[in-house]
A and B are shown apart, each in its own frame.
Chain A
């Protein structure tokens, strides 16, 4: 098999493939009230269905539900604090090459988050264990942007419950660009 030659061809091979080293990331802990309470306090979100069992029981949810936009939090990697700055903020050692590494090697090393789109299929209850799988959906052609030449990379994370039912999805788009190559 001939080795793909252009950057565009090498990037195209990642479309439809998982991001990172493993296909599925399981949450380290089930949906739980202490983390919900911490979240609600941090954002001063007084919605009683997140933290008040009696109020939640009177609501249409019938019991405590996790804040819907907490979905991504459940599967965030438990960090190794030592060395996190030296790893550029990556919570864990991240040897997984992938499209972003190919782009970085080609000089497109800077990242700007562009879009996030959450679809919440259903709210989660206490005790549920969430897992996430992330696949690269698309990689653009090289674009001229105000920050310089770059590529838009879009990935989709699908969140599932223990039975494999989809509970939500997130589409996330970043721009990878060459730092310092922008306009005046």
Chain B
């Protein structure tokens, strides 16, 4: 059995990553908070979140990082190694919104046995940019990875 993967020689600056669109339900937000061991009530208790001035519960940052990583490796495949993920945080993610990731390759380079891909991306919802960021992903070079 083979697993889908991205071949290094097929990656070029300007390539667009397949968008990732997520319907953000309360269940998705709470599941992410607990799976990342973040028990702050603003991420699972609507009454508490509203007492704090938020419109509703909102997604935690560990979940944002998790979805960024998934967006990258859904495209780059199981041989990929995420080496850097830098995000600037914007509007919150509440239940009932749609979060859409888009991104593109900005540069490629080779370092040792690895091909490095620079990506810039953003995730937006109805309120604006939830995150904008850059990442670096390593792919294997050589006969098996090329």
A1 at the A/B interface (Cβ < 8 Å)? no
Q: A43-B66, A76-B36, A85-B45 are in contact. Are A113 and B79 (CB under 8 A)?
A: no
Chain B residues lying within 8 Å of A48, measured Cβ to Cβ, are 3, 78
Contact B69 A68 (CB under 8 A): yes
CB distance from B131 to the nearest CB of A (A): 9
Kindly supply a per-residue 1/0 record for chain A positions 34-51, scoring 1 wherever the CB is within 8 Å of any chain B CB and 0 otherwise: 010011011111111100
Number of A-B contacts (CB under 8 A): 117
- Among B6-14, B83-91, B100-108, B119-127, the one that faces the other chain is B83-91
Contact partner, A84, options B1, B32, B41, B78, Cβ 8 Å: B41
Instruction: Give chain B residues whose Cβ lies under 8 Å from the Cβ of A58.
Output: 3
**A69 near B65 (CB under 8 angstroms)?**
yes
**How far is it, in angstroms, between the C-alpha of A120 and the C-alpha of B69 when the chains are bound?**
12
On chain A, which size bracket covers the interface?
35 or more
Q: Are A117 and B87 in contact (CB under 8 A)?
A: yes
Chain B residues with CB under 8 A of A45: 66, 69-70, 73-74
Interface range on chain B: under 10, 10 to 19, 20 to 34, or 35 or more?
35 or more
**Chain B residues within 8 Å of A70, by CB:** 36, 66
CB <8 Å contact, A68 and B82: yes
Question: Do B85 and A49 have beta carbons less than 8 Å apart?
Answer: no
- Closest residue of chain B to A74 (Cβ to Cβ) is B37
Q: Note all chain B residues with C-beta closer than 8 A to A78.
A: 37
User: Which chain B residues border A6 with CB–CB below 8 Å?
Assistant: none
A123 touches B66 (CB 8 A): no
Q: Are A47 and B34 in contact (CB under 8 A)?
A: no
Closest chain B residue, CB of each to CB of A28: B37
Inter-subunit contact B86/A118 (CB<8 Å): yes
In whole angstroms, what is the CA distance A137 to B79 when docked? Answer: 34
Interface residues in chain A, defined as those with a beta carbon under 8 Å from any beta carbon in chain B = 35, 38-39, 41-49, 55, 58-60, 67-70, 72-73, 76, 78-79, 81, 84-85, 89, 91, 113-120, 123
Using CB atoms and an 8 Å cutoff, list the residues of chain B in contact with chain A.
1, 3, 28, 31-32, 34-42, 45, 48, 61-70, 73-74, 78-79, 81-89, 140, 145
- 26 chain-A/chain-B pairs, Cβ below 8 angstroms: A35-B35, A38-B35, A39-B36, A39-B66, A42-B34, A42-B36, A43-B32, A43-B35, A44-B70, A45-B70, A47-B74, A55-B1, A60-B79, A60-B145, A69-B66, A69-B68, A72-B36, A73-B36, A85-B41, A115-B86, A116-B87, A116-B89, A117-B86, A119-B83, A120-B83, A120-B85
